[in-house]
Amino acid sequence: MSRVGGSGAGLLADRFDWNRITKSDRAIGWLFVLPSVIVLAAIVIYPFIWLVFNSFFEFNQAGRREGFVGFANFITVLSDGRFLGSIWFTVLFVAVVVTVQFLLGLGIALLLDETFDRPELVTVLSIPPMTLSPIVAGLMWRMLFSPDFGLVNYWTGWTMDWIGQAPWTRVTIIIVDIWMWTPLFVLVFTATLKSIPERYYEAARVDGMDAWQRFKWVTLPQLRTAVVIVLLLRVVRAFKVFPKVAVLTRGGPGSYTETIAMTTYKYGFEFFDIGRATAAGLLYWILMFAVAFVIFKAIAEDVIAPEGSR
């Protein structure tokens, strides 16, 4: 790793040598970390293992385990058109909202960075949607989209049933999520743009780069780490969408707007089929993990790779 002579990072690297750490020092370090590991195991690892274990059993209506059924719960779930439909809508929802939020957030951040000397002051005004509870946001937009007295139909002059008629129910959920979480992209991208040294752009202008080339070869590479972080956060969060759907459409009409989270909830708390609910929850986790892993492999791996291995 190249260092500028006398820099603080270089002096710290010279003084800090992992080889000098003794076994007792490492033991002390593990003692400090142990409470966090125990808490993590108690609230994350143990429930997940219990979920996997229960997915191979059948339960009665009282929630008591009756017998080992192997992969029967998974076969039942994967052959259920309701669950397959919820997978399709969830994947569609995640793809649309995250893509639109990313493009809108990047565009707004670039506009603020070019237009305002202090874009962070304007960015703060966009934060309130993120701070709202999903239940509150859903109730507010349910009133706005009401076919009888909602302001959306009043302003547009339309008579559409946004929360009770396909395909507008899906459009409504997507609009609400875009409104609520685009500020996250704006906030992260604005802060990152302000941290890019101006000398990079000056060098690009000297080399004769136009605006698009500066964006492609200077701005985007500097934004890459922020893009990775915010995309992973939003993809995982979007997969878990539940409260807004429950308040806005209640999964209707029929099961048209049911997400995987809502279908899993109904398996367990409406149909009282714990075995099928745990199998659906495990499949839900596998799908989330697979999508996050693909994103990580596609754009994040180089960002966190050690400098010497690049």
* Residue pLDDT, tens place only, 135-152: 999 999 999 999 888 899
| pTM listed for this prediction | 0.83
Per-residue pLDDT at 26: 75
Could you confirm whether domain 77-309 is CATH 3.30.200.20?
no
CB contact set of 178 (below 8 Å; sequence gap of 6+): 97, 100, 101, 104
Per-residue pLDDT at 71: 93
CATH 1.10.3720.10: which residues of the chain? 77-309
Q: Which long-range contacts (CB under 8 A, 24 or more apart) does 103-107 make?
A: 104/178, 104/182, 104/185, 104/186, 105/182, 105/183, 105/184, 105/185, 105/186, 105/188, 105/189, 105/230, 106/185, 106/189, 106/223
Q: Around Cβ 287, how many Cβ atoms within 10 Å? A: 16
Per-residue pLDDT at 19: 55
User: 3-state DSSP: the chain helix, strand, coil percent, rounded to 5?
Assistant: 75, 0, 25
- DSSP β-bridge partners for residue 59: 65
* Sequence letter at residue 198: E
Q: How far is CA 28 from the centre of its chain?
A: 35
Per-residue pLDDT at 3: 42
Q: Around Cβ 165, how many Cβ atoms within 10 Å? A: 14
Per-residue pLDDT at 115: 81
DSSP assignment of 229-273 equals: HHHHHHHHHHHT--HHHHHHTTT-STTTT--HHHHHHHHHHTS--
Per-residue pLDDT at 300: 60
Per-residue pLDDT at 173: 95
65 touches 146 (CB < 8 A): no
Per-residue pLDDT at 294: 84
Per-residue pLDDT at 56: 93
Q: Which residues of the chain have pLDDT under 70?
A: 1-23, 119-120, 299-310
Q: How many CA atoms lie within 13 A of 122 on its CB side?
A: 14
Residue carrying the six token digits 């219990």: 50
CB contact set of 242 (below 8 Å; sequence gap of 6+): 134, 259, 261, 262, 265
How would you label 228-242 residue by residue, b for 16+ Cβ within 10 Å and e otherwise?
A: bebbbebbeebbebe
